[in-house]
C-alpha cells in the first residue's frame, strides 16, 4: 500500500524519512486542537494556522502529516469515531439495560466536552456546508450513530423491546435528547453526578415505556467510565 492509499489517520501514524525523531505528542495535540477549533469556529473558521497556535506545534509539523485542512479534520474525527467504537466494544457481555445506560452516559459525557461541540457542529454542517464537510461526516461520524441503533435493534429481535417499538426512532430520540441537553446546559454546571443522573433519566423516560421488562437498575448506577471523560479531551 502506498502512502497515497492510506487514510488520513493512518498517514498520521507513519514516520518520515530518517532524521530527527518525531515528537509523539504532536499528533494527539494537533488532532485535539483541530476538534476544538472546528467546534468553536465551524468550517469557515477552521484554519491550519489556528490549529498550530492552539496545539503549540510548528506549521511544518502539521503540513508534514496532513497536507490540508480536510485531511487534518478527517483524521481528528476518525480518531473520535474510533474511540466511540472502542467504548461500545467494551460493553459486550453486559446486561442489555446496563449496556444501554453506559452507552447513553458515554455519549452524554462526550457531548459536554469540546469534542462534543465539534460533533454537534459537524452533524449540522454536513447537511448545509460544502461537499468537503459532508465527506468528512460520511467517512467518520456517520458510523458513530450506529451503536445505539444496533443495540436497540438487537433488543427488538430478542423481545426486550415491545413489538411496536421502532429501534431507529428510539435511537434518534435518545441522540436528539442528549444533544439538546448538552446545548442548553452550560459546561460549568455539568458534573459527573448530573451527567449520570441525566443519563438514567433519558433511558427511563425515552426507552423505559418500550421495554418488555421494567428497569431494574437503581438511579445511582455508575456504569463503566467513558474513554472521553466529562472533563477530559480524547487522549
pLDDT of 16: 46
Q: Are 177 and 202 in contact (CB under 8 A)?
A: yes
CA 86 – CA 79 distance, rounded (Å): 10
Output phi, psi for 161, to 5 deg: -110, 150
The tens place of each residue's pLDDT in the chain, 235 residues long, gives 444 555 544 544 444 444 455 667 889 999 999 999 999 999 999 999 999 999 999 999 999 999 999 999 999 999 988 888 888 888 888 899 999 999 998 888 888 888 989 999 998 898 886 789 999 998 888 877 788 999 999 999 999 999 999 999 999 999 999 888 888 765 445 556 678 888 899 999 999 999 999 988 776 666 666 666 544 444 4
* Rounded Cα–Cα distance for residues 37 and 70 (Å): 13
pTM exceeds 0.85: no
Measured distance CA(111)–CA(105) in Å, rounded: 10
What pLDDT does 7 receive? 52
Q: Are 178 and 104 in contact (CB under 8 A)?
A: yes
For residue 29, give the nearest of 4, 82, 65 by alpha carbon. Answer: 65
Assigned C-alpha cell, 183: 446545548
Q: Looking up cell 491550519, which residue turns up?
A: 48
Assess contact for 193 and 158: CB atoms under 8 A.
Answer: no
Residue 157 is predicted with a pLDDT of 97
Is the four-CA dihedral 225, 226, 231, 235 of positive or negative sign? positive
Structural domains in the chain, CATH included, are 3-71 (1.10.10.60), 80-210 (1.10.357)
CA pair distance 36, 139, nearest whole angstrom: 19
N- to C-terminal Cα distance for the chain? Answer: 28
Amino acid at each position: 500500500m502506498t502512502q497515497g492509499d492510506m487514510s488520513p489517520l493512518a498517514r498520521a501514524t507513519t514516520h518520515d524519512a530518517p532524521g530527527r525523531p518525531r515528537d509523539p505528542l504532536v499528533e494527539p495535540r494537533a488532532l485535539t486542537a483541530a476538534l476544538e477549533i472546528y467546534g468553536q469556529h465551524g468550517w469557515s473558521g477552521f484554519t491550519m494556522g489556528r490549529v498550530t497556535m492552539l496545539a503549540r506545534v510548528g506549521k511544518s509539523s502539521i503540513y508534514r502529516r496532513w497536507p490540508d485542512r480536510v485531511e487534518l479534520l478527517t483524521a481528528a474525527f476518525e480518531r473520535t469515531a474510533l474511540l466511540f467504537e472502542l467504548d461500545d466494544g467494551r460493553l459486550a457481555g453486559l446486561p442489555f439495560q446496563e449496556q444501554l445506560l453506559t452507552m447513553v452516559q458515554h455519549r452524554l459525557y462526550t457531548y459536554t466536552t469540546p469534542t462534543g461541540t465539534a460533533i454537534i457542529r459537524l452533524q449540522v454542517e454536513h447537511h448545509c456546508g460544502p461537499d468537503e464537510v459532508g465527506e468528512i461526516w460520511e467517512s467518520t461520524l456517520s458510523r458513530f450513530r450506529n451503536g445505539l441503533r444496533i443495540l436497540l435493534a438487537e433488543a427488538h429481535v430478542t423481545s426486550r423491546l415491545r413489538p411496536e417499538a421502532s429501534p431507529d426512532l428510539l435511537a434518534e430520540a435518545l441522540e436528539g435528547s442528549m444533544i439538546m441537553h448538552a446545548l442548553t446546559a452550560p459546561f460549568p454546571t455539568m458534573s459527573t453526578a448530573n451527567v449520570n443522573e441525566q443519563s438514567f433519566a433519558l433511558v427511563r423516560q425515552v426507552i423505559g415505556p418500550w421495554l418488555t421488562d421494567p428497569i431494574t437498575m437503581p438511579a445511582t448506577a455508575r456504569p463503566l467510565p467513558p474513554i472521553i471523560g466529562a472533563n477530559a479531551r480524547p487522549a
